Amino acid sequence: MRLTRRDRIVLFAPLAVLVGGWLVLPAVLGLLASFTTYSPFTTVVRFSGLANYAAVVQDPVFGAAVRNIAVFTIVAVPLELAVGFGIAHLLRTPIKGRALWRVLLLVPWLVSPIAGGVMWHFLFGGAAGILDFSPVGDVRFALLAAIAVEVWRVAPFVTFLLLPGLISIPKERWEEATLAGASWIQQVLHVAIPELRTLLLTVAMLLVGLSFGTFDTILILTGGGPGTATLTPALYSYGRAFQTNDWPVGAASGWLIAGGVIAVGLVYLRLARERPAR
Amino acid sequence: MTRVILLLTALAAFLLPLAWTVLAALGMLNGPPTLSHFSDLGVAEPAFWQELATSTASAACAAALTVSVSFLAAYGLARSHLRAGRLLRQGFLVLASLPVMAYVIPLSDVMRRAHLVDTFAGVVLAEAAVTAPLAVFVLHGALAQLSPEWEEAAVLDGAGLLRVLGRVVFPLVAPSVAATAIVLFVIDWNMLLVPLVLTSGEVRTVPVGMMDFFTFERELDWPTAAAALIVSLAPLALLVAVFHRLLERFRLDTQIG
């Protein structure tokens, strides 16, 4: 229908108030405050330029957190996509009890990150553990353990998001490929991935954002340790703002996380705009 | 056959840790089954059942608010025929990907100044805002596919915007809206950072309770923690099992021209 001016106000005002007031406004105020000495506990606020950012960037602890999250993202996101896609591919064609498979294979995503962290903390270590050493207490394995937990929790969600797309690829496309003698890997490369290009990009964007903000799982699993072996920028930011009361540094490092996601977001916008040639 | 074996392998990897948790909660790792660990929950964390109620209510309110607000905006976007419509829609996805940590520090300050800290409404509004961009993205996908002809017929009959939305548009996309609401409920239910930072004891959700417990009282034994995990997971598992058909309508991939 044709929307009048009044219609548009009715339609857009509620979202503008909600997202504007509780997301955009705090984000922008936080950005402005990160160039000052602002903190809710001080009365004198001075402009400080990039001093907060310099403090964050020069902090070796933050450097370790950035390295960790880079490794975390580079390993976890492709694994989540691969495992999630693989399972969706297995469920693509009708199978007995597909609905039940789908529900059961989604369950890990329903476990809250915090509860998952608790569970794996006990599973990995302590008297009740299944291994005779604790990977979460070992500098060499702690990050890998955190990645494994995240893949366990997120890959099921990837399957959930990809399966409807895979199912709706026209049958003929698969049949053509089978007739042409394509192996299953060729079918994935030449049928599934081109058809699902936009969906895969969308899911990848969400996963990268999720990974950059990793907080809940690691909080209980390792608390960022041992040392800084599993510290993430989000844990760093939270610790500075709410535990050591170093508000400006916390806010500035929070904005660096946002900056990272926005940078990836620009790449996503660029890639999602291009239409693949069929 | 290979397919079933592979699926069973995935199922085992996904569910065995949880099966072990269920056994631990029932005390079956070292003795006969017992429900005592579930009743211990109320002793170890006296507010646990209260927290469960708060989690349910806040997640339900936040999901309902997000879906209503996003439905209106997504419809507006779908019928505005903007040149930059596609870019705007993808912009919402980037916003949906933004981690809460990126803005939760100033948000806590804004909420404190607005006297919304430690209030139920504060938690609901903040959770609703966090998930709104994703809801707009998904619902826009569903609404943009809808042929405008149905609406035109209603408009010719003299129906106004809200009547068209309520009588024509909503019934046609109700399954997608419901599926979105369920997914948002799961996300809101499990959210930690927002209720953690915006409350200080008055309003507590299950994830915040779990976190406090593990940070300050490390001696909680595994069977009780396992019982807490199972109790907090059960409502979501039930919800997803009951509405699994509906959930197939949650789609990120509708092609928009």
Q: Domains of chain B, with CATH numbers?
A: 14-247 (1.10.3720.10)
Comparing CB atoms, the residue among B29, B136, B225 nearest residue A15 is B136
Comparing CB atoms, the residue among A102, A115, A212 nearest residue B99 is A212
Q: Cβ contact (<8 Å) for A112 and B24?
A: no
Residue of A32, A89, A114 to mutate when probing chain B, most B C-beta within 10 A = A114
pLDDT in tens, A111-125: 999 999 889 988 887
* Alpha carbon distance B97, B128 (integer Å): 15
Q: Would you call A18 an interface residue with chain B, using a CB distance cutoff of 8 Å?
A: yes
Residue A249 lies in a domain: yes
Average pLDDT over residues B121-142: 95
**Residue B246 carries which DSSP code?**
H
Tell me, what's the pLDDT at A104?
Answer: 94
Of A223-232, B11-20, B226-235, the least confident: A223-232
Whether residue A13 is predicted with pLDDT greater than 90 in this model: the reply is yes
By C-alpha distance, the chain A residue nearest B252 is: A199
Residue of A119, A242, A249 to mutate when probing chain B, most B C-beta within 10 A = A119
Q: Cβ contact (<8 Å) for B222 and A14?
A: no
Q: How many C-beta neighbours within 10 Å does residue B102 have?
A: 31
A239 vs A215, A231, B173, B239, CA distance in Å? 11, 11, 43, 35
* Alpha carbon distance A125, A123 (integer Å): 6
Tokens of A174: 């698969």
- What is the helix (H) or strand (E) element at residue B40, kind and residue range? helix B36-44
> How far apart are the CA of B240 and the nearest CA of chain A, in angstroms?
7
**Type of residue found at A103:** V
Tell me, what's the pLDDT at A132?
Answer: 59
Residue A3 lies in a domain: no
- A192 contacts on B by Cβ (under 8 Å): none
Look at the block and give the residue holding tokens 């955190």: A146
* Alpha carbon distance B11, A221 (integer Å): 23
Tell me, what's the pLDDT at B257?
Answer: 38
Supply the angle between the helices B48-78 and B85-97 in degrees, to the nearest 10.
Answer: 160
Task: Assign 3-class secondary structure to chain A.
Answer: CCCCHHHHHHHHHHHHHHHHHHHHHHHHHHHHHCCECCCCCCCCCCECCCHHHHHHHHCHHHHHHHHHHHHHHHHHHHHHHHHHHHHHHHCCCCCCCHHHHHHHCCHHHHCCHHHHHHHHHHHHCCCCCCCCCCHHHCCCCHHHHHHHHHHHHHHHHHHHHHHHHHHCCCHHHHHHHHHCCCCHHHHHHHHHHHHCHHHHHHHHHHHHHHHHCCCHHHHHHCCCCCCCCCCCHHHHHHHHHHHCCCHHHHHHHHHHHHHHHHHHHHHHHHHHHCCCCC
Between residues A182 and A259, the one the model is more confident about: A259
Q: Cβ contact (<8 Å) for B222 and A128?
A: yes
B121 vs A155, A181, B29, B77, CA distance in Å? 33, 60, 42, 28
* Rama region for B158: left / alpha / beta (φ>0; ψ in -120 to 50; rest): left
DSSP for B41-79 reads: HHHHSTTHHHHHHHHHHHHHHHHHHHHHHHHHHHHHHHT
By C-alpha distance, the chain B residue nearest A206 is: B97
Supply the angle between the helices B2-25 and A142-167 in degrees, to the nearest 10.
Answer: 130
Q: Cβ contact (<8 Å) for B161 and A272?
A: no
pLDDT in tens, B25-72: 998 877 888 888 888 888 877 888 899 999 999 999 999 999 999 999
- B158 contacts on A by Cβ (under 8 Å): none
Domain with A102 in it: 50-273
Q: Would you call A238 an interface residue with chain B, using a CB distance cutoff of 8 Å?
A: yes
End-to-end CA distance of chain A: 33
Tell me, what's the pLDDT at B219?
Answer: 58
Quick one: CA dihedral B205, A22, A156, B185, positive or negative?
positive
* Alpha carbon distance A157, A105 (integer Å): 9
Burial of B47 (0-12, 13-18, 19+ CB in 10 A): middle
Residue A75 lies in a domain: yes
In the Cβ-directed half-sphere of B122, how many Cα atoms lie within 13 Å? 24
Q: State how many domains chain A has.
A: 1
Residue A131 has phi, psi (to 5 degrees) of: -105, 155
Residue A25 lies in a domain: no
Whether residue A11 is predicted with pLDDT greater than 90 in this model: the reply is yes
End-to-end CA distance of chain B: 40
List the one residue out of A42, A193, A7, A204 whose CA is nearest residue B97: A204
- B232 contacts on A by Cβ (under 8 Å): 112, 115
Of A123-127, A238-242, B20-24, B183-187, the least confident: A123-127
Comparing CB atoms, the residue among B94, B103, B240 nearest residue A27 is B103
Average pLDDT over residues A43-59: 89
* Alpha carbon distance B28, B20 (integer Å): 9
pLDDT in tens, B197-254: 998 888 899 999 888 777 655 556 788 888 989 999 999 999 999 999 999 889 987 6
Average pLDDT over residues A34-49: 85
CATH of the domain at A93: 1.10.3720.10
Q: Cβ contact (<8 Å) for A269 and B90?
A: yes
pTM above 0.95, yes or no: no
Tell me, what's the pLDDT at A83?
Answer: 97
Q: Cβ contact (<8 Å) for B128 and A30?
A: no
Residues in chain B: 257
Between residues A64 and B224, the one the model is more confident about: A64
Q: Rounded mean pLDDT of chain B? A: 89
Comparing CB atoms, the residue among B97, B132, B192 nearest residue A15 is B132
List the one residue out of A226, A12, A1 whose CA is nearest residue B136: A12
A262 vs A30, A172, A236, A242, A258, CA distance in Å? 16, 39, 19, 25, 6
Q: Would you call A101 an interface residue with chain B, using a CB distance cutoff of 8 Å?
A: yes
By C-alpha distance, the chain B residue nearest A112 is: B190
Whether residue A110 is predicted with pLDDT greater than 90 in this model: the reply is yes
* Alpha carbon distance A161, A109 (integer Å): 12
Comparing CB atoms, the residue among A3, A15, A234 nearest residue B101 is A234
pLDDT in tens, A166-214: 998 888 888 888 888 888 888 888 889 988 999 999 999 999 999 999 9
Between residues A80 and B49, the one the model is more confident about: A80
Of A258-267, B180-189, B205-214, the least confident: B205-214
* Alpha carbon distance A110, B18 (integer Å): 11
Whether residue B75 is predicted with pLDDT greater than 50 in this model: the reply is yes
**Type of residue found at B69:** V
* Alpha carbon distance A273, A57 (integer Å): 33
* B38 touches B231 (CB < 8 A): yes
Q: Cβ contact (<8 Å) for A99 and B245?
A: yes
Of A52-66, A263-277, B20-34, B95-109, the least confident: A263-277
pLDDT > 70: what percent of chain B?
Answer: 96
Tell me, what's the pLDDT at B134?
Answer: 96
Tell me, what's the pLDDT at B256?
Answer: 46
* B162 touches A83 (CB < 8 A): no
pLDDT > 90: what percent of chain A?
Answer: 55
**Residue B229 carries which DSSP code?**
H
- B251 contacts on A by Cβ (under 8 Å): 164-165
Tell me, what's the pLDDT at A131?
Answer: 57
Residue A231 lies in a domain: yes
Of A112-126, A131-145, A147-161, A176-190, the least confident: A131-145
Q: Rounded mean pLDDT of chain A? A: 89
* Alpha carbon distance A205, B133 (integer Å): 14
Residue of A1, A161, A268 to mutate when probing chain B, most B C-beta within 10 A = A1
Comparing CB atoms, the residue among B17, B29, B126 nearest residue A119 is B17
A243 vs A240, A249, B117, CA distance in Å? 6, 12, 18
Residues in chain A: 278
